[in-house]
Amino acid sequence: MKIYTRTGDEGLTSLIGGQRVSKADARLQSYGTIDELNSMLGVARATPLPAAIDLVVAQMQHEMFALGAELAAPDPSASGMTLLTDAAVDRVEREIDQFEAGLPPLKAFILPGGSPQAAALHAARCVCRRAERMVVLLAETVEIRASIIRYLNRVGDLLFVLARQANAAAGTPDVPWKKSDG
């Protein structure tokens, strides 16, 4: 089987179920950004991450793949795919609490960066926030389960906390934002 099919040469692609849509469609923008996030999570894992963080990010990658598939299906329940639920949202909240417990309280905004691991996680966080915005935009025109938006919102928060935790593990302080004088 060849990797190229030529079926997208006119700017159209197929959703799960066979429906053909423009590659500029909001649904494609949504699951394409989820795919980009998954790739950024892979970049973060290649830094490499501390073991506890890596386990969380690895699970997140599998969930992003499932989420992308759900968004690629106009009727995901008919396709019999695994759907993320509020249980995943609850688990992410517990992970935020767990990783945040060992960090000093924030007293200022921080700049993305620090260690290479934290910088990669901050980049993934930014892509996650864009994915969330794209899914919210999609939800204005088609039915999207509310738990998907909640999940992406919490994952963005988790990636922020994991970036801070990666800095702490590397012995690299977070870089506070300094307001310019002019």
CATH number of the domain where residue 135 is located: 1.20.1200.10
Cis peptide before 48 (omega within 30 of 0): yes
Q: What is the mean pLDDT of the chain?
A: 92
- pLDDT number for residue 78: 64
* Backbone CA torsion sign across 174, 100, 144, 146: negative
In this structure, is residue 48 part of a structural domain? yes
Is 53 contained in some domain?
Answer: yes
Inter-residue contact 96 to 158 (CB < 8 Å): yes
Closest CA to 41 of 122, 129, 154: 122
155 closest CA partner among 107, 97, 89, 62 = 89
Per-residue model confidence (pLDDT) at position 166: 98
> pLDDT tens digits, residue range 20-76?
777 778 999 999 999 999 999 999 999 999 999 999 999 999 999 999 999 988 877
How far is Cα 175 from Cα 15, in angstroms, rounded to an integer? 43
In a domain, 151, yes or no: yes
What is the value of pTM for the model shown? 0.92
Give CA–CA dist 75/90, Å, rounded: 25
DSSP state of 13: E
100 assigned to some structural domain? no
Q: How many domains does the chain have?
A: 1
Count of Cβ atoms closer than 10 Å to residue 41 Cβ = 25
| DSSP characters over 77-135 | TTTT-----HHHHHHHHHHHHHHHHTSPPP-S-EES-SSHHHHHHHHHHHHHHHHHHHH
42 belongs to a structural domain: yes
pLDDT, tens only, 120-130: 999 999 999 99
d(CA 65, CA 71): 10
| Residue 105 is assigned to a structural domain of this protein | no
Domain boundaries, position 166: 18-74+112-171
- Which residue from 132, 101, 113 is spatially nearest to 47, judged by alpha carbons? 113
Q: Which helix (H) or strand (E) holds 45?
A: helix 26-45
Other beta carbons less than 10 A from residue 60's beta carbon: 25
Q: What is the pLDDT, as a whole number, of residue 182?
A: 66
Residue 92 located in a structural domain: no
Residue 13 lies in a domain: no
